[in-house]
Amino acid sequence: MRCRNIKTLDMEPLARIENELKKCVKCGACRAHCPVFSVLGREPVSARGKIALARGVMTGTVPLDARTRADMSKCLLCGRCVEKCANDVPTDLIVLAAREVLARKRGLTPLSRMIRLLFGSRKLMNGCALLANVALPLLFRRIPASSGLRLRFPFRFFSRRRIPAMPRRPFLDRHPEVTEGRPDRPRVAYFIGCMTNFMYPQIGEAALGLLKELGCTVIIPKDQQCCGFPAISGGDFETFRFLAEKNLAALEKCSADVIVTACASCGGAFHRLYPRVLGERIPGLASRCEALAEKTVDAAVLLQRFGFEPSADGSGSCQRVFYHDPCHLRNRSVVREPRQLLRSLPGLELVDTERAASCCGLGGTFNYYHYNTSMEVNAGRLAAIADSKADTVATGCPGCMMQIADGLSRGRSGIRVRHLLEILAEKSPGNR
Amino acid sequence: MLKMHIIKELKAIVGREHVAVERQDLVCYGYDATQMEFLPDAVVFPADSGEISRIMTLANRERMPVFPRGAGSGFSGGSLPKGGGIVLVTTRMNRILRIDTENMIAVVEPGVVTGDLQNAVEKLGLFYPPDPASLNFSTLGGNVAECAGGPRAVKYGVTKDFVLGLEVVLPCGEIITTGGETFKGVVGYDLTKLLCGSEGTLGIITRIVLRLLPLPETRKTMLAMFESIDGAASAVAAIIRARIIPATLEFMDHSAIACVEGQFRLGMPGNARAALLVELDGDRELVERQAADIGVLISPLGLIEFRAAADAAEAEVLWKARRLISPALRKVNPDKINEDIVVPRSRIPDIIRRIDEIRETYDIPIVNFGHAGDGNIHVNIMIDRSMPGQAEKADRAVRDIFRAALDRGGSMSGEHGVGLSKAPYITMELTPAQIGAMKAIKKALDPNNILNPGKIFPE
């Protein structure tokens, strides 16, 4: 059962990281750490299994069929297995390469085609957002406001997914490109990300407010695009590259001292995917990707570094806060700073959850294909949140926010999910 | 390929969704940590002993081999479907049925992950000591079948020392229990011990009764670096002679120190030829006194450096070098032959010197570390299989190493088992009469040789 007629060119994404595949010694340690494996329990889901399948694809013993595509789609790209692997096997990159090979051989999935169309053009996306703002409330089923989520998708695939209501104006259209700060403070370029721009503009407002408070000059490059994570997740390297090159140009142009993100996944894309997926492949972009990764920091790290000081007023909407580690921050060892910031707030108690950190289960495109599994992974988080008796969940990623809020909206806990920056902004002196 | 009607019958037994026959499943259930690969014809995920019994009846009727599998993390190929057949995966049977604090026992299904049981019993102040390196992902069924060991064996023993009773599906489909829930019991042969370490060739374990201990109050970790392996060995002897039995006594020889230091530059002293990692557990007072005693006992033995951890975070720092061996090895050469010989602990310096000679004879990297307390040494022969001649060289080195272990009153394998990877060598250790007796047992229980065939005994 050998699969012939696979052009060598189609295999190139895997072939170029063949040495990384060979690093896997099949010890099985990844079985203890994969959130998807813990739900589904089948070996092809584990990192070791996916690597075996990728090897099989290369040698022709595993067909590039719908089943292989389904197996490769069962990855949250959380990076847990990479972090825990004794041999440093980059399973995330291997899964992305396998998805790209599948896309080359079988074409993009409908979802990836939609991502290419939509994310490939900011204009179209803005138009859709505008349209969505008008049309969606008519189309969507409304759910109670207390959950922080307002809409339910009416379509089959997303029929159970609950999302926040879209804002009237995307964040990017609200502010000037440059807000001058004090000359002794750094020039900060703010990379927003689609979810903040179109779904959670309040994160952007909080980030902007906090950066201004610190006296930073804030540049919000108007021609920034989607980071490209959703595109490369579906194996669409061309769109990923197209977006990445635009972002590189937009961010380089503003000659900032530092680039800040408040979306763990956008930051993760800059830190890992730009250098490893793009830079290693396109020699001309390698040093630019490295430089971008070097310059990019998460907002929590920046605020901690430049001495965020809360107002002494202990009042506020939340008292007991559960901090959820987004995988794409934990991967970059951003675990201390968010906690230090929360602890610095008067009248707020942080429930420490560092030890029990696990994925929220969203996984970008993953939750589209495997919504039930996604919510089962999420259930583990919800249980920990309930145990903590917190009134608020804080995190550093709008994706995690949407996912956890979706899970919570099914119970009657009344627990709110907020971005760390929203809580900080509320307690910032400038806000009083 | 299995006949369609067999697959249909399997589906009737375990349910459609618990039989997997697609290529992707076959590939993923055909390997283990040995990195050998075979393709099974089907993978089944039964829910209980009744289903397994029916599968075995079917297997006997059809003369179709069945290969029991837990997490597939074995180091000897014990779960691999060589020659094809059905892989029977026990991971759906993963319930902890009972933790009895009164009688200090746990009753579990075979698919429970060892670390999960440990966490569960430790919450109740109890302790399940066996700690194979794979404990966070390997299953208790696999641990019993292979009689897994681990660092704590020096004080607490290995898996078989904690198994009181089993429920087992025999190769012909009968379901029996062995032993029970009591510490004592002498009625009939001790089938429990026979099944521990039987490598899935005599029966499929479906329930396990495990003995538990009280959880020690505290743990203290120390790291000692020595000028010579003899110094480290004398230290082990001195500690034991002083009637102190640490929970773990791990060593790294000069080859392992050089390998880790070369890759990761942890700042271990350059003249260190051996490192000893000592972990004491027990009452706080006793542990502190023993730790102080150890410091005094080992200081005249060519000690270069001695560090004691004050807390768990510091202990983790001391474990770092030991934990980094595996990733460091990978960078020496791509392929690892991982043997686990065992010798009486007093013979460790002697065999390390012999392995040094073997390394020079064949001119291939060999890195040693392991459990100094029980004489179990992990000998890692690092080769590149793509280089012509290396595999043959490694095979000759393996034979020399096994010979050296046997000559010193030891054994070829302390905790990994024979499986496929050591089967060609067992005649070095076992006599024809011994093998004959074992085969007679196998034949009596599995007349059609359908349960995990091709393992242990050379073909």
Kindly tell me if the per-residue pLDDT of A426 is higher than 70: yes
What's the pLDDT score for residue B441? 98
In chain B the domains, ranked by start, together with CATH numbers, are: 4-89 (3.30.43.10), 96-214 (3.30.465.10), 218-325 (3.30.70.2190), 337-441 (3.30.70.2740)
Q: Do A62 and B28 touch (CB under 8 A)?
A: no
Q: Predicted confidence band at A2 (pLDDT cuts at 50, 70, 90)?
A: very low
- Contact, B420 vs B367, CB < 8 A? no
What's the pLDDT score for residue A146? 53
**Which candidate in B28, B335, B338 is best for mutational testing of the A interface (most A CBs within 10 A)?**
B28
Kindly tell me if the per-residue pLDDT of A158 is higher than 60: no
Nearest beta carbon to residue B327 from set A1, A43, A88 = A88
What's the pLDDT score for residue B459? 75
Contacts with B263 (C-beta within 8 Å, 6 or more apart), sequence order:
B324, B327, B328, B331
- Report the CATH number at residue A413: 3.40.50
What's the rounded Cα separation, in Å, for the pair B149 and B161? Answer: 10
Kindly tell me if the per-residue pLDDT of A147 is higher than 80: no
Element (H, E) at B99: strand B96-100
Nearest beta carbon to residue B33 from set A1, A26, A61 = A26
CA proximity to B157, closest of B193, B203, B187 = B193
Q: Predicted confidence band at A264 (pLDDT cuts at 50, 70, 90)?
A: very high
Name the domain boundary from A72, A106, A140.
A106
Quick one: average pLDDT of A400-412? 91
Amino acid at A386: A
Tell me the three state secondary structure of residue B253: strand
Q: Do B28 and A49 touch (CB under 8 A)?
A: yes
Chain B: give the shortest CA distance to residue A63, in Å. Answer: 8
- Cα–Cα distance list, B332 to B259, B265, B366 (Å): 8, 15, 10
Nearest beta carbon to residue B28 from set A22, A29, A53 = A53
What's the rounded Cα separation, in Å, for the pair A29 and A335? Answer: 23
Residues of B in Cβ contact (< 8 Å) with A88:
327
Residue whose entry in the numeric block shows the structure tokens 């150890």 = B294
**CA angle B213–B218–B221, rounded 5-degree value:** 115
The structure's pTM equals 0.94
Nearest CA in chain B to A86: B327
Kindly tell me if the per-residue pLDDT of A162 is higher than 80: no
Residues of A in Cβ contact (< 8 Å) with B134:
27-29
What's the pLDDT score for residue A139? 56
What's the pLDDT score for residue A183? 92
- Contact, A371 vs A160, CB < 8 A? yes
Nearest beta carbon to residue A41 from set B27, B35, B91 = B91
**CA angle B116–B122–B128, rounded 5-degree value:** 70
Residue A13 located in a structural domain: yes
Q: Predicted confidence band at A167 (pLDDT cuts at 50, 70, 90)?
A: confident
What's the pLDDT score for residue A5? 45
C-alpha radius of gyration, chain B, whole number = 23
What's the pLDDT score for residue A175? 92
User: Within an 8 Å CB–CB cutoff, is residue A84 touching chain B?
Assistant: no
Q: Do A29 and B31 touch (CB under 8 A)?
A: no
CA proximity to B164, closest of B184, B150, B145, B149 = B184
Kindly tell me if the per-residue pLDDT of A4 is higher than 80: no
Question: CA torsion B123→B129→B134→B138, rounded to 10°?
Answer: -70
Can you read off the two tokens belonging to residue B301? 């033995």
What's the pLDDT score for residue A1? 43
Low-confidence ranges of chain B (pLDDT < 70): 1
**Which candidate in A26, A50, A55, A67 is best for mutational testing of the B interface (most B CBs within 10 A)?**
A26
Residue A195 located in a structural domain: no
pLDDT, mean over chain A: 89
- Residue A420 structural domain: 308-431
Nearest CA in chain A to B334: A23
What's the rounded Cα separation, in Å, for the pair B393 and A58? Answer: 29
Chain A: give the shortest CA distance to residue B440, in Å. Answer: 34
Domains contained in chain A, number: 2
**Which candidate in B24, B112, B330 is best for mutational testing of the A interface (most A CBs within 10 A)?**
B24
Residue A87 located in a structural domain: yes
Residue A342 located in a structural domain: yes
Can you read off the two tokens belonging to residue B52? 């397994």
Name the domain boundary from A62, A90, A106.
A106
Q: A380 versus A95: which is more confidently predicted?
A: A95
- Cα–Cα distance list, A35 to A28, A46, A373, A384, A404 (Å): 14, 9, 10, 15, 15
- Report the CATH number at residue A49: 1.10.1060.10
What's the pLDDT score for residue A15? 95
What's the rounded Cα separation, in Å, for the pair A47 and A24? Answer: 9
Residue A238 located in a structural domain: no
| Chain B stretch 72-101, residues whose beta carbon is closer than 8 A to a beta carbon of chain A | 72-73, 91-92
Q: Predicted confidence band at A432 (pLDDT cuts at 50, 70, 90)?
A: very low
What's the rounded Cα separation, in Å, for the pair B247 and B258? Answer: 26
Q: A2 versus A298: which is more confidently predicted?
A: A298
Name the domain boundary from A106, A124, A151.
A106
What's the pLDDT score for residue B1? 66
Quick one: average pLDDT of A387-413? 92
- Cα–Cα distance list, B411 to A78, A83, B80, B340 (Å): 43, 36, 23, 9
Query: Kind of pairing, strands A320-324 and B204-211?
Result: unpaired
Residue A283 located in a structural domain: no
What's the rounded Cα separation, in Å, for the pair B290 and B277? Answer: 15
Chain A: give the shortest CA distance to residue B151, in Å. Answer: 18
Nearest CA in chain A to B113: A32
Q: Count of CB atoms within 10 A of residue B45's CB?
A: 22
Residue A149 located in a structural domain: no
At A239-262, the pLDDT tens digits run 999 999 999 999 999 999 999 999
Tell me the three state secondary structure of residue B128: coil
Nearest beta carbon to residue B33 from set A25, A42, A52 = A25
Kindly tell me if the per-residue pLDDT of A355 is higher than 80: no
Contacts with B216 (C-beta within 8 Å, 6 or more apart), sequence order:
B127, B247, B281, B282, B283
Kindly tell me if the per-residue pLDDT of A69 is higher than 80: yes
Residue A245 located in a structural domain: no
Can you read off the two tokens belonging to residue A141? 């089923």
Can you read off the two tokens belonging to residue B422? 């050591």
